[in-house]
Amino acid sequence: MRFDIVTLFPEMLRPFFAQGILLGAQEKGLIEIHLHDLRAFAPDPRGIVDDRPFGGGAGMVMRPEPFARAVEALAQEIRTKPFVVLLSAQGVLFTQAWAKRFARERALVLLCGRYEGVDERVLSFCDLELSIGDYVLAGGELAAAIVVEATARMVPGVVGRYDSVATDSFFSGPRLGFPQYTRPRLFRGLPVPDVLLSGDHARIRRFREKEAWKKTLRHRPDLLGLRLPPAGEP
């Protein structure tokens, strides 16, 4: 699978993709990650990619031409139509289901905004506007890193044992993962549950299933369709 990220700050992301399972997956040829400087696609030699918003308002808005040029150039290079995503706080929420969906694509292009926002007409050549949460970042670079890592983990072979992926939170639906324990058996008066030391795999599965649902109810009752406490400051 191929990932292409179009950003004003490619060097911000390069170290992240040069470590861990993402580096290993690239070395094995399972995925490719390409970073592109948006300024290289600017319509003028000065590399200007933003301008003042029509109608007035604070800040600067990113122009549509550089993104359009980038997508067109990448489609020619890849020789197939990529799935194009604009990363935006106004988009649909990124979930594990989207990661699975993206992993079925041959090529995924992620467009990173900055400043006050991106010209709305950029969406005319995007397949999806995507958000990683109900908060605002300075740009789309961190969101791009999250999307790439979550999606790459769904590509067969990227994670050594796929069953470790299958037990992740959200993999099999709206449920968190079960609590995990390792050595020491007793840590500051807190023991490992006896069932995990029993060797009875059926009991262990039942225990983990029960604890996963309990954790989901405690931390994410919204996933179970239950009413959340009144909103307020943390």
pLDDT tens digits for 132-184?
Answer: 999 999 999 999 999 999 999 999 999 976 666 666 666 667 788 899 999 99
**232 domain residue, yes or no:** no
Instruction: Report whether 71 contacts 125 (CB < 8 A).
Output: yes
Helices (H), 17-166: 20-27, 64-78, 96-102, 141-152, 162-166
Letter string b/e over residues 107-132, b meaning 16 or more CB atoms within 10 A of that residue's CB: bbbbbbbbbebbbeebbeebebbbbb
**165 domain residue, yes or no:** no
Judgement on whether residues 62 and 138 belong to the same structural domain of the protein: yes
Residues linked to residue 37 through DSSP beta bridges, in sequence order: 7
Judgement on whether residues 148 and 190 belong to the same structural domain of the protein: no
| Strands of 8-139, DSSP E | 32-37, 50-51, 61-62, 83-93, 107-112, 117-118, 128-131
Domain with 219 in it = 174-224
Question: Of 152, 183, 205, which closes a domain?
Answer: 152
- Domain count within the chain: 2
pLDDT band at residue 231, thresholds of 50, 70 and 90? Answer: very low
pLDDT of residue 174: 79
Q: What is the CATH number of the domain that holds 220?
A: 1.10.1270.20
**9 domain residue, yes or no:** yes
Residue 40's Cβ-count burial label (10 Å; 0-12, 13-18, 19+) is middle
> What letter represents residue 221's amino acid?
P
pLDDT digits (tens, 9 = 90+) for 28-71: 999 999 999 999 999 988 999 999 999 998 899 999 999 999 99
